[in-house]
Structures are given as structure tokens and as C-alpha cells.
């Protein structure tokens, strides 16, 4: 199992090829661009693909761990584990409870979104690039370099 962007390591090793997976919500676009043979599940706290599972950010990893406890030992043991940890989140009971991140954010003139990490950026200070007549803004020079190397991976056709 992986937590957060650990899914990149599993995908790089070929373990997610042809499977569904998730990662941190700020890495969806890059993950999809880097691993087109993996079905990125936006808005999932975790994805259980049988013998391999991935989760979103840190607390989603806790949810995945509790889900695994439930798989092997049952709901009661998982609930007791959550209680012992003083963990009150219920995401482990519903892997699709991250609906706030289910839709890809839309970049607008007033609220530009970095096409690589999908975070909102300040266009007054953000690095930018014009590609096919459209201006793209980036949260970092590193993301701009990723975009510049292969922009079609991040631009809807």
C-alpha cells in the first residue's frame, strides 16, 4: 500500500499498470501525465485494487490502514483500533468520501490553476508560459520545466 505520492513509486515499479489508483489531490494531473496506463481516481480517499492499495494524503493513509485492518480482522476490530488511536474520521468506511477533490479544478483568468499540480497560483508572481495562444501559470519553476518539456501531457486537447 502507498500513502500520498508514494503511488508514484508503485506506478514507476509497474505495479499499478492497468489498475485504478489515487494519490494526493495536488498530484492528480502529474500522476495521470506520468502514468497514462493507470486510472487515476479523483476524490477517492483510497483505492483498494486487491493486493495493492493507494491512498490520498496523510489522513487518507490512516483511512486505508483502518480499511486493511477491517479487511483482515473485521469492522469491530477496525473501529476499536480507530478509537484507540483517537481517530474520529470515518473515511475508512467510505473510500469515495473525498468528493471535494473529485472534479478537476478549472483555471480561469481570475483564478489561474497550475496545470501540473492543480493548485491556485498568483498570476502576478507566478512563472508563466504561453502555449498554443493560451497563458499558463505555474506554482513553481520546477512545474514550469515539467510543463515545458512535454506540454501536451497537461493540456486538454
Catalytic residues: 4
Q: Are 104 and 112 in contact (CB under 8 A)?
A: no
φ, ψ (nearest 5 deg) of residue 139 = -80, -15
Put residue 74 in one of left, alpha, beta given phi > 0 → left and psi -120 to 50 → alpha.
left
> Which of 15, 105, 90 has its CA nearest to residue 46?
90
| DSSP-derived secondary structure letter, 92 | G
Q: Give the Cα separation of 21 and 27 in Å (integer).
A: 12
Amino acid at each position: 500500500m502507498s500513502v500520498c505520492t508514494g503511488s508514484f513509486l508503485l506506478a514507476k515499479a509497474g505495479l499499478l499498470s492497468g489498475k485504478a489508483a489515487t494519490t494526493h489531490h495536488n498530484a492528480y494531473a502529474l500522476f495521470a501525465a506520468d502514468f497514462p496506463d493507470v486510472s487515476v481516481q479523483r476524490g477517492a480517499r483510497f483505492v483498494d485494487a486487491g493486493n495493492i492499495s493507494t491512498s490520498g494524503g496523510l489522513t487518507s493513509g490512516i483511512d486505508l490502514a483502518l480499511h486493511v485492518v477491517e479487511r483482515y480482522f473485521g469492522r469491530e476490530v477496525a473501529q476499536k483500533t480507530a478509537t484507540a488511536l483517537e481517530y474520529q474520521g470515518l473515511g475508512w468506511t467510505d473510500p469515495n468520501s473525498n468528493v471535494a477533490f473529485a472534479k478537476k479544478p478549472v483555471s480561469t483568468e481570475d483564478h489561474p490553476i497550475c496545470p501540473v499540480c492543480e493548485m491556485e497560483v498568483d498570476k502576478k508572481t507566478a512563472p508563466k508560459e504561453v502555449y498554443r495562444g493560451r497563458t499558463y501559470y505555474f506554482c513553481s519553476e520546477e512545474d514550469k520545466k515539467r510543463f515545458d518539456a512535454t506540454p501536451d501531457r497537461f493540456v486538454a486537447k
